[in-house]
């Protein structure tokens, strides 16, 4: 694990008032600092800023959040930049994804409502589109392929909602790996680590080199640290944005493999390849017979190697980039013996599924994705997940809790959120007084009677505790 504390997604802040005097003070300091820079650096900073500044966007999305069994709309703030004259804007998925409306304020203070073209959680990239009467200023996208530590960069955006802010720093590390044991924070890329001040609200804004080219999308900070910020390399962002502009989403291949660097098994530098640490049940790789502990040495004759963890994203991306539904040859090593296996790639399904609020019962339900089914130890992808229940609601009175998996409604198996929605609607329509759910919580199942006719008299005694015999 690369970090003591996981980086937090930059959220939104309402501390604008308190931040202002601090920001003013900081400005004064920065200006005095600038004076000591050589003249050519000062002009380079100014020209780099001027190259991007007109295309900088202050973004005000209204996000849908599901809390305690309710869907709520929360206004937030982020940053972005215009990449095409006809109004395509790049920002973060965590800024603009799951939004009901997104407002964009351009550099000339024009405020336009944007359409969300698509949002990709795996790269944290979203693309917006605004309609303007004339051609819009755009940024120049650079390359993130050959970045160097020590290279000067500017971060631009709306820290704590303070629009049009620019901060200066250097690239601290060009390819920082951020990973944790099982949650994959950006599985397909390393990060550009910078000390240019990045704060909540900078999310989605550009990281710019002194040539005035965008080389990253500012996305994360390490909480509790000073000036440890992270940007998505622009090459990754550009690729995701192009896919979103074309198809509205990023399609990826999936084999059901998880990897660890060779160092997890041995520090012998002569051993090449990457360690397969986990094979998902019901995955193409499992069906083909791949086992945890096998070493993957090549995919379709292209060798893969990851001695260190920062080499893992490239391996994952090589698999994601395979054509979907096609046969691929995996070259493996098992107990030192070479082995070849044919697998047919499947399309990767998002970890997180859609959510719906069911207001009458006072709870929210999420789609069960294969990954969630696996975490819940379900033998197959079935049921729907209760994502929250509102205190005092019918659902709460019945004892439904976050994390419960509804397997059956009135004896009928439920396999998707759509199926549950249909069943729910017909229950409401029929006006039946009670509905029986069969629910799984952890390893234990139980029957839950939802008294739909009892809005005025919620059950006092919750029959929710089962007992082992």
Number of Cα atoms under 13 Å in the Cβ half of residue 320? 22
Q: How far apart are CA 108 and CA 441, in angstroms?
A: 54
Q: Is 34 in the site for other proteins (CB under 8 A)?
A: no
In Å, how far are 74, 126, 157, 311, 367 from 202, measured between CA atoms? 18, 15, 5, 28, 31
Pick from 70, 84, 227, 260 the residue near other proteins by CB under 8 A: 260
Asked if 203 is an active-site residue, the reply is yes
Region for 256 from its dihedrals, namely left if φ exceeds 0, alpha if ψ lies in -120 to 50, beta otherwise: left
**Which residues are 338's β-sheet partners?**
333
**Residues between 397 and 436 with contacts to other proteins, criterion CB under 8 A:** 434, 436
Backbone angles phi, psi at 171, to 5 degrees: -75, 125
Cβ nearer to other proteins, comparing 161 with 370: 370
Nearest alpha carbon to residue 402 among 414, 383, 377, 385? 385
Site string for other proteins, 350-379 (x = CB under 8 A): ------------------------xxxx--
Using CB under 8 A, which of 129, 258, 286, 307 touches other proteins? 258
**Residue 77 beta carbon to other proteins: minimum distance, rounded to whole angstroms:** 34
Among residues 278, 287, 346, 401, the one that binds other proteins under rule CB under 8 A: 278
Sequence-ordered strand ranges (E) for 52-123: 56-67, 70-75, 78-82, 88-92, 99-105, 111-120
Output the smallest distance, CB 287 to other proteins, in A.
Answer: 16
For position 5 contacting other proteins by CB under 8 A, the verdict is no
Q: What are the residues whose beta carbons fall under 8 Å from the beta carbon of 132, sequence distance 6 or more?
A: 86, 87, 106, 110, 112
Catalytic residue status for 120 = no
Q: What is the per-residue DSSP string for 155-191?
A: EEE-GGG-TTEEEEEEEEEEEE----SSS-SSTT--E
Check residue 22 for interaction with other proteins (CB under 8 A). no
Q: Which of 108, 148, 226, 267 binds other proteins (CB under 8 A)?
A: 267
Cβ contacts of residue 421 below 8 Å, gap of 6+?
356
Identified binder of other proteins from the candidate list 292, 323, 338, 413, rule CB under 8 A? 292
Of 17 and 460, nearer to other proteins (C-beta) is: 460
324 in Cβ contact with 253 (< 8 Å):
yes
The tokens of 405 are what?
């998996």
Pick the stretch among 146-154, 256-264, 311-319, 381-389 that binds other proteins (CB under 8 A): 256-264
The residue from 342, 380, 425, 466 that contacts other proteins (CB under 8 A) is: 466
Residue with tokens 């970045």: 147
Q: Does 444 bind other proteins (CB under 8 A)?
A: yes
Which residues share a beta bridge with 409? Answer: 412, 437
Whether residue 124 lies in the annotated active site: yes
Strands 412-413 and 434-441: unpaired
Tell me which stretch binds other proteins (CB under 8 A): 31-39, 198-206, 264-272, 361-369: 264-272
Q: Which stretch binds other proteins (CB under 8 A): 118-126, 139-147, 229-237, 446-454?
A: 446-454
Q: Which residue has tokens 């139980």?
A: 446
277: contact with other proteins by CB under 8 A: yes
Interface with other proteins (CB under 8 A), residue total 38
Q: Would you count residue 132 as binding other proteins (CB under 8 A)?
A: no
Residue closer to other proteins (CB basis): 157 or 370: 370
Closer by beta carbon to other proteins, 203 or else 261: 261
264 binds other proteins (CB under 8 A): yes
**Rounded least distance, CB 390 to other proteins, Å:** 21
Interacting residues with other proteins (CB under 8 A) = 1, 181-182, 258, 260, 263-267, 275, 277-278, 292-293, 374-377, 434, 436, 438, 442-447, 449, 451, 459, 461, 463, 465-469
């Amino acid at each position: 694990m690369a970090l003591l504390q996981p980086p937090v997604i930059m959220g939104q802040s309402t501390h604008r008032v308190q931040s202002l005097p601090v920001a003013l003070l900081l400005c004064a300091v920065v200006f005095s600092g600038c004076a000591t820079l050589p003249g050519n650096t000062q002009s380079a900073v100014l020209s780099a800023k001027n190259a991007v500044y007109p295309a900088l966007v202050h973004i005000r999305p209204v996000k849908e959040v599901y809390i305690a069994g309710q869907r709520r709309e929360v206004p937030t703030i982020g940053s972005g930049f215009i990449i095409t004259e006809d109004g395509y804007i790049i920002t973060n998925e965590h800024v603009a994804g799951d939004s009901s409306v997104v407002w964009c304020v351009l550099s000339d203070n024009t405020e336009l409502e944007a359409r969300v073209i698509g949002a990709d959680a795996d790269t944290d990239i979203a693309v917006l589109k605004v309609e303007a009467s004339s051609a819009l200023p755009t940024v120049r996208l650079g390359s993130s392929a050959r970045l160097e530590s020590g290279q000067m960069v500017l971060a631009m955006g709306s820290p704590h909602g303070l629009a049009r802010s620019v901060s200066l720093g250097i690239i601290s590390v060009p390819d920082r790996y951020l990973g944790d044991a099982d949650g994959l924070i950006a599985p397909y890329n390393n990060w550009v680590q910078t000390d240019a001040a990045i704060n909540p609200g900078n999310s989605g804004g550009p990281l710019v080199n002194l040539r005035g080219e965008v080389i990253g999308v500012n996305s994360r900070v390490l909480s509790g640290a000073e000036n440890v910020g992270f940007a998505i390399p622009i090459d990754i962002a550009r690729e995701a944005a192009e896919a979103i502009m074309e198809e509205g989403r990023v399609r990826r291949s999936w084999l059901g493999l998880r990897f660890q660097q060779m160092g997890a098994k041995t520090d012998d530098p002569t051993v090449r390849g990457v360690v397969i640490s986990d094979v998902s049940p019901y995955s193409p790789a499992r069906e083909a017979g791949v086992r945890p502990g096998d070493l993957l040495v090549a995919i379709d004759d292209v060798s893969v190697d990851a001695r260190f963890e920062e080499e893992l994203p490239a391996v994952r991306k090589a698999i994601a980039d395979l054509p979907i539904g096609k046969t691929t040859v995996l070259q493996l090593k098992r107990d030192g013996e070479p082995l070849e296996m044919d697998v047919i790639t499947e399309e990767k399904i998002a970890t997180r599924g859609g959510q719906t609020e069911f207001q009458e019962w006072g709870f929210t339900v999420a789609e069960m994705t294969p990954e969630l089914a696996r975490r819940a130890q379900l033998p197959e992808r079935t049921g729907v997940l209760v994502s929250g229940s509102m205190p005092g609601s019918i659902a709460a009175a019945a004892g439904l809790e976050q994390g419960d998996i509804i397997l059956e409604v009135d004896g009928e198996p439920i396999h998707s959120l759509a199926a549950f929605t249909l069943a729910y609607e017909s229950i409401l329509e029929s006006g039946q007084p009670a509905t029986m759910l069969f629910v799984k919580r952890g390893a234990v199942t139980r029957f839950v009677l939802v008294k739909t006719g009892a809005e005025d008299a919620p059950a006092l005694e919750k029959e929710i505790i089962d007992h082992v015999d």
